[in-house]
Structure formats: structure tokens, C-alpha cells
């Protein structure tokens, strides 16, 4: 779960590359209550906005880990998920699987793909007819059914 808060950046580390090849930037910042903490930014598109004394409208995920610090308290991971400028997110994708496009569920993506495939089939069948090539009645019926559905807005 991520929360939006105002952060004032106090320091920013250099880009760090892990053994896995993933890259990150660590930074320290204070929240409006004046408490300072360390944060991690994994997404490269956010790094350009991290500089000393900049105030960020940030979306941050906070997670308590199973590890303990030197004082015996649990280590808390704070991950910068997004930054908002004039109310708009820097990263359009704020949730969902990594690498998946923003705003579309798997069902919406499947429906969009099916629609594109149907449109391509309609075009191809029509081009075959115009060229005088033989087209089976089943293909013509499928094309006409899809066109009827598409034109009805369903």
C-alpha cells in the first residue's frame, strides 16, 4: 500500500547496481512532521527529480521487514513509487504487474487484441473479395457478424 506525502529531499546517493543487475538510488528526506528517513527509488524515471532541498509530492510504499536494526527494532523499507507534478504522476503506471501498460486489465487487453484481430480479418476478407479471390461462406458470415456487432456499438 502506498501513501502520498510531501517529502523534502536532504541527500541523494549515486546510482547503485546490485548483483542482480537492478539499479537503485537511495535518498534521505524529511516528511512534514519533521522526521527524517531513508528512501529507495528503483524507477529510473524518478531519479532526475531527486536533488537536495527539493520538495516532492510523493507516493511512498512503507514495509516493515523481518530484519532487525542494531537497536533491535524492525527495519522499515520506504520505496518511492511515484512523484506528482501539478497533480499529475511522473510515471503513468502506478499499480499492476511490472512491464504491463497502465490502466488496462488483462481482460481489457484481451478484448482490444481480439478487436484488432477481427478488424484485420475483416479487411483481409474484403480485399480478397475485391481482388476476385475465392472466400468461403463461413469467412463472409464471420466478417458480417463482426461488422454488425461493431456497428451496433457492442
Q: How far apart are CA 81 and CA 154, in angstroms?
A: 37
Residue 96 has pLDDT above 60, yes or no: no
Q: Does one domain contain both 71 and 115?
A: no
Confidence class for position 102, pLDDT limits 50, 70, 90: low
Q: How far apart are CA 9 and CA 71, in angstroms?
A: 25
Q: Does one domain contain both 81 and 117?
A: no
Q: pTM score > 0.75 for this model? A: no
Question: Contact 39/78 with Cβ under 8 angstroms?
Answer: yes
The string of pLDDT tens digits covering residues 44-91 is: 889 999 989 999 999 999 998 888 878 888 888 999 999 988 888 888
Q: Does one domain contain both 77 and 144?
A: no
Give the CATH number of the domain where residue 53 resides.
2.40.50.140
Instruction: Confirm whether 101 is domain-assigned.
Output: no
Q: Does one domain contain both 62 and 18?
A: yes
Total domains in the chain come to 2
Q: Does one domain contain both 60 and 24?
A: yes
Mean pLDDT in residue range 103-124: 82
| Domain region containing 142 | 106-151
Q: Does one domain contain both 82 and 126?
A: no
Interacting residues of 59 by C-beta distance below 8 A, sequence separation 6+? 2, 3, 4, 80, 81, 82, 83, 84, 89, 94
Amino acid at each position: 500500500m502506498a501513501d502520498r506525502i510531501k517529502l523534502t529531499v536532504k541527500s541523494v546517493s549515486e546510482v547503485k547496481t546490485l548483483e542482480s543487475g537492478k539499479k537503485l538510488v537511495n535518498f534521505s528526506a524529511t516528511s512534514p512532521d519533521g522526521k527524517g528517513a531513508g528512501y529507495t527509488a528503483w524507477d529510473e524515471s524518478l531519479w532526475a527529480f531527486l536533488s537536495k532541498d527539493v520538495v516532492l509530492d510523493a507516493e511512498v510504499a512503507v514495509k516493515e521487514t523481518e530484519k532487525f536494526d542494531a537497536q533491535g527494532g524492525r527495519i522499515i523499507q520506504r520505496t518511492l513509487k511515484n512523484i506528482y507534478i501539478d497533480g499529475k504522476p511522473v510515471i503513468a503506471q502506478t499499480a499492476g504487474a511490472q512491464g504491463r501498460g497502465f490502466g488496462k486489465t488483462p481482460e481489457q487487453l484481451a478484448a482490444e487484441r481480439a478487436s484488432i484481430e477481427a478488424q484485420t480479418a475483416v479487411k483481409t476478407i474484403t480485399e480478397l473479395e475485391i481482388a476476385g479471390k475465392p472466400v468461403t461462406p463461413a469467412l463472409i458470415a464471420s466478417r458480417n457478424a463482426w461488422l454488425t456487432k461493431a456497428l451496433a456499438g457492442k
